[in-house]
Structure 1
Amino acid sequence: MIYTAIDTFYLTDEQLKNTPSRKDGIDEATETTLRIYGCDLIQESGILLKLPQAVMATGQVLFHRFFCKKSFAKFNVKRVAASCVWLASKLEENPRKAKHVLMVFHRMECRRENLPLEHLDIFSKKYSELKMDLNRTERHLLKEMGFICHVEHPHKFISNYLATLETPTELTQEAWNLANDSLRTTLCVRFKSEVVACGVVYAAARRFQVPLPENPPWWKAFDAEKSGIDEVCRVLAHLYSLPRAQYIPVCKDGDSFATSRQALDSQTQQISKEGMLNGPTANNDKSTPKEAPAVANLDSGGLMKGAISKVVLDKLKDAKKSDDETNSVLIELEEMREPSLKAKAEHSGERNRERERAKARDRDRGRDSDREREREKEVEREREKVKDRSYRSKDKGKDSGGHSEKSRHHPSRDRSDYHSSSYSSREKDRHRHHPYT
C-alpha cells in the first residue's frame, strides 16, 4: 500500500488556540475535557468489543484530527467517538459490525448516566436513526481528512529506542502506558511519533530513576529536540493532574444513545408532584393579604361570620384552581406522551402483522411443496404400472411361442430316439451272434 502525505496533519500552537470550537464560544478547559471524555469512550468501547490496542489508538488519533477541523458545538462527541471506533476497526483490519458498536455505546451511556439498562431493539426507529447517523459521521470523518487516514503511533518506536539505550525491562511497560495515555491529549496532532516516543521514554526513565546518556544527548540519535521532549512531559503531567472527565452538553443536536423516555417521565412526574404540593400554599400566600384588611375591619359578629365564610370560599376557589392547573399539566403530559405510545403500538402491531404474514406464506409454501410431492409420487406410480403391464405382456408372448416350438420339435425327437434305440438293439444282436476273431 502506498501512503501519500503521511506527515502533513500537524498543527502549531496558534492553530490549536483558534480551533473551530473556540470560535463557537467553547473555552479551553471544556474542549480539553470533551477530548479526554471522547478518548475514554473509545478506549472503553474497544475493550468491550475485544479490539487490539492499535485500533483504539488509531480511533483516538482520528478523533483529535477531526475536532481540530470541526467544532464540538456542531458534532456530538459521543457520536463521533462511535464513528471513530467503527472506522478505525476497518482501517486496522479488525472490523466490527455497526450493530455491535451501537449496542456497546448504548450500554456505556446507560451505565455512565445511571439510566435503566434497556436492550437496544434493532427493529426500532431509534436504532435506525443511530445507524444512519453513524454512517453520516463516518463520511464526515473521511471527507475532512481527505481519505488520508494513515496513522503512525509512537508505540513501534519505544521498544527500539529502549533496546538501543540498553535500559531495564520494566521501563518498557511504563513507557508503553505513558504512550497510551498521551493519546488522550493533542500531542498526536502537534508532534511526530518519534518525538512523542522520546518524551515517554524520558518520563519513564525519570519515574524509575534510570540514567540515560547525555553526552552526547541520546535524543539527538532519534531526531528529537529537548524542547519537544519537555513539552511532552509537561502535557502528560497536566493530564494526570486533571479529575476524571465528565460529559458536558455543548452540542445542539440530539446526543443520546439511550432512550431517555423513562428519565423524561420521571422528571415530569416530579414536576407534577411539586405543582400539586406547592400550588395551594402559593395561592394561600396570595390570599392572605386580601384577608387581613377584611378581618381587621370587623366590628360585629355577623360581619365576622361573613368574612370567615368569604375567606373559606376564597381558599376553596384557590384549591380548585390549583387542582385544575395540575390536572391541565397532567393532561398536557398525557397528550405529549400519547403520540409516542401510539407510534410504538402501531410499530409493534405492524411487526406482528408482518410476522403473521410471513408465517402464512411459509405455510402456503409448505402446502404447495407437499402437493407437488404427491403429484410426483402419483406420476411415478403410473409409470411403474405401465412398465409392469408391458413386462407382463412380453412374458405372455414368450410363453406361448415356447410351447409351440416344443410341440413342433417333439415328434422329430421321438423319431430320432426310436431310430437310435432300434440301431443300438441291432448292433447288440450282431455282436452277440458274430463275435470278434
Structure 2
Amino acid sequence: MGRLSLRNPLATPEQIAESPSQRQGMSADVEASMRSYTCHLIQASGTILCLPQLVMATAQVLLQRFYYLASIQDFPLRGIVLGTLFLACKAEENPQTIRNIINVVDIVVKRDRRYPEVVTDGYDPEYYELKNEMVIGEMQVLRRLAFNVQVELPYRLLANYLRSLKLTDQERVPQLAWNYMNNLLRTPVYVCFQPETIACGAIFFGSARVQYWTAYQPAMVGARKLKMHGEGVLDEHVAQMRKEMRDKLDAELAFASQEKNVDEGDGGGKRSQAEHVDDGTRPKSRRGVPDSTSRDHNRRRHTSSRSRDTRHSSYRPH
C-alpha cells in the first residue's frame, strides 16, 4: 500500500489477514468495532460542520488505510480522527478552521459518552491538548501513508453507471446504492477494492433489494463472479443491439432483392460490359449485400431505362 499510483492503494492480503492491532493482541471483532466508531465520529462531525460527503468519505478512507499500517493501541482514536478530518478538508479543497474541527469532534465524543456538552475555550488547557493531538495525528497519517492522500471515490462512477443502465428513473435503486456505499465506509472495503468494483457492487445489492433484476439472484454470487460487461446485467442491452443489427441487415437484403427483381422485370436491353465482367477492382459486398456503388449504379440505370420507355413507347428490345 506504500507504492505511489494514480489508482487507490489497496491493502495486501497479509495486512488484511492480520493487521498491526491484531499482531499486538487485539481481536478482530474489537478492532472492527473501533474502526466503525471512529468512522461514526467523522461522519457525525462532518454533518455538523456541513461538509460535503466527499470530504467525510475521504477522511474515513484515510483512517482505514492508516490503521492497516499502524496499531490502534499505539495511536489514540481521537487524535487520528482529528488529523484525518483536517487532512480531508484540505485535500478536497474545503478548508475548515482548526478550532471548529476540534470543538465539533469534542462535542460529538462528549455526546456519545453522555458528558455535558460544553464547548472548550480557546485558552483552555483541554483545547491545547486536543490541538496537539490533531497535529500529531496529521503528521503520523502523512508519515505512514508516505504523503499519499489521494482517494478516488466511487460516487461519480455510481452516477454514470446508473445512467448507463437506465436506473436513474427507479425510485429506490439509486438511493439504496448510495446508502450501501456510505455504509461500506465503516468497513475495510474501500482499502480492499477499487472504486469501480464498489460502485458495481452497490448497484447490484441495491437492485437485488428491490428485485429489479430477476436474472441475478443472491445464490448465483457464490457460484461465479459478478460480471457487469457482456453477461448478466448487460445481456438485455447486447441482445437489443444485435436485434437492431439483424433488422438492418435484413432490410438491406430485401432492398437489394427488390431492385434485382425490378431490373429483371424491365427486360432492359443491352447491359454494359461492366455489369457482366468483374475485373476485381470493385469491392465485393459483405454477406451478399451489394455495396453502395452498385446500388447507386442500378438506380441510375433503372431510371434511365424508364425515361427511354416513356419517350419511345413503340421501342421494344430485340
| TM bracket, shorter-chain basis | 0.5 to 0.7
In the alignment, is the contact (CA less than 8 A) between 1:121 and 1:127 conserved in 2?
yes
Aligned length: 218
Does residue 220 (structure 1) correspond to residue 229 (structure 2)? The answer is: yes
Q: Which amino acid in the other structure matches residue 43 of structure 2?
A: Q
Residue equivalent to 1:182:
184
Q: What is the percentage of aligned positions where both structures have the same residue?
A: 33
Query: Structure 1 residues 129, 221: CA separation in 2 closer, same or farther (over 3 Å shift)?
Result: farther
Residue equivalent to 2:110:
110
Residue equivalent to 1:153:
153
Listed one character per residue, the Cα deviations across residues 322-367 of structure 1 (whole Å, up to 9, x for unaligned) are xxxxxxxxxxxxxxxxxxxxxxxxxxxxxxxxxxxxxxxxxxxxxx
The higher radius of gyration belongs to 1
Query: Any idea what SS the aligned residue of 1:118 has?
Result: coil
How big is the shift at 1:118?
2.2
Residue equivalent to 1:101:
101
Q: Which amino acid in the other structure matches residue 152 of structure 1?
A: E
Listed one character per residue, the Cα deviations across residues 145-184 of structure 1 (whole Å, up to 9, x for unaligned) are 1111110111111111112112243211111111111111
Query: Any idea what SS the aligned residue of 1:220 has?
Result: coil
Residue equivalent to 1:78:
78
Query: Structure 1 residues 82, 41: CA separation in 2 closer, same or farther (over 3 Å shift)?
Result: same
Q: Distance in 2 between matches of 1:183 and 1:212?
A: 28
Residue equivalent to 2:221:
none
How big is the shift at 1:81?
1.1
Q: 5+ unaligned residues in a row in structure 2: which ranges?
A: 217-225, 232-318
In the alignment, is the contact (CA less than 8 A) between 1:110 and 1:117 conserved in 2?
yes
Query: Any idea what SS the aligned residue of 2:213 has?
Result: coil
Q: Distance in 2 between matches of 1:212 and 1:91?
A: 41
Listed one character per residue, the Cα deviations across residues 219-239 of structure 1 (whole Å, up to 9, x for unaligned) are 1369xxxxxxxxxxxxxxxxx
In the alignment, is the contact (CA less than 8 A) between 1:19 and 1:68 conserved in 2?
yes
Query: Structure 1 residues 173, 127: CA separation in 2 closer, same or farther (over 3 Å shift)?
Result: same
* Superposition map of 1:248-397 within 5 A: none
Query: Structure 1 residues 8, 153: CA separation in 2 closer, same or farther (over 3 Å shift)?
Result: closer
Residue equivalent to 1:205:
207
Q: Distance in 2 between matches of 1:7 and 1:97?
A: 30
In the alignment, is the contact (CA less than 8 A) between 2:110 and 2:116 conserved in 1?
yes
Q: Distance in 1 between matches of 2:164 and 2:146?
A: 37
Q: Distance in 2 between matches of 1:50 and 1:221?
A: 41
In the alignment, is the contact (CA less than 8 A) between 2:22 and 2:28 conserved in 1?
yes
In the alignment, is the contact (CA less than 8 A) between 1:107 and 1:117 conserved in 2?
yes
Residue equivalent to 1:66:
66
Q: 5+ unaligned residues in a row in structure 1: which ranges?
A: 223-437
Q: Distance in 1 between matches of 2:134 and 2:97?
A: 11
Query: Any idea what SS the aligned residue of 2:178 has?
Result: helix
Q: Distance in 2 between matches of 1:140 and 1:188?
A: 20
Q: Which amino acid in the other structure matches residue 51 of structure 2?
A: L
Q: Distance in 1 between matches of 2:52 and 2:186?
A: 17
In the alignment, is the contact (CA less than 8 A) between 1:46 and 1:56 conserved in 2?
yes
Residue equivalent to 1:287:
none
Q: Which amino acid in the other structure matches residue 77 of structure 2?
A: V
- Aligned-pair RMSD on alpha carbons? 2.0
Q: Which amino acid in the other structure matches residue 162 of structure 2?
A: L
Listed one character per residue, the Cα deviations across residues 48-73 of structure 1 (whole Å, up to 9, x for unaligned) are 11100000000000000000000010
How big is the shift at 1:10?
0.9
Listed one character per residue, the Cα deviations across residues 11-42 of structure 1 (whole Å, up to 9, x for unaligned) are 23432122110111100000000010000000
Q: TM-score, normalised by structure 1?
A: 0.48
Residue equivalent to 1:396:
none
117-126 or 194-203, which deviates more = 117-126
Q: Distance in 2 between matches of 1:17 and 1:190?
A: 12
How big is the shift at 1:126?
1.7
In the alignment, is the contact (CA less than 8 A) between 1:212 and 1:218 conserved in 2?
no
Q: TM-score, normalised by structure 2?
A: 0.65
Question: Higher helix fraction: Structure 1 or Structure 2?
Answer: 1
Q: Distance in 2 between matches of 1:117 and 1:51?
A: 21
How big is the shift at 1:8?
5.7
Q: Distance in 2 between matches of 1:177 and 1:139?
A: 32
Listed one character per residue, the Cα deviations across residues 57-101 of structure 1 (whole Å, up to 9, x for unaligned) are 000000000000000101111221121111101111111111111
How big is the shift at 1:119?
2.8
Residue equivalent to 1:53:
53
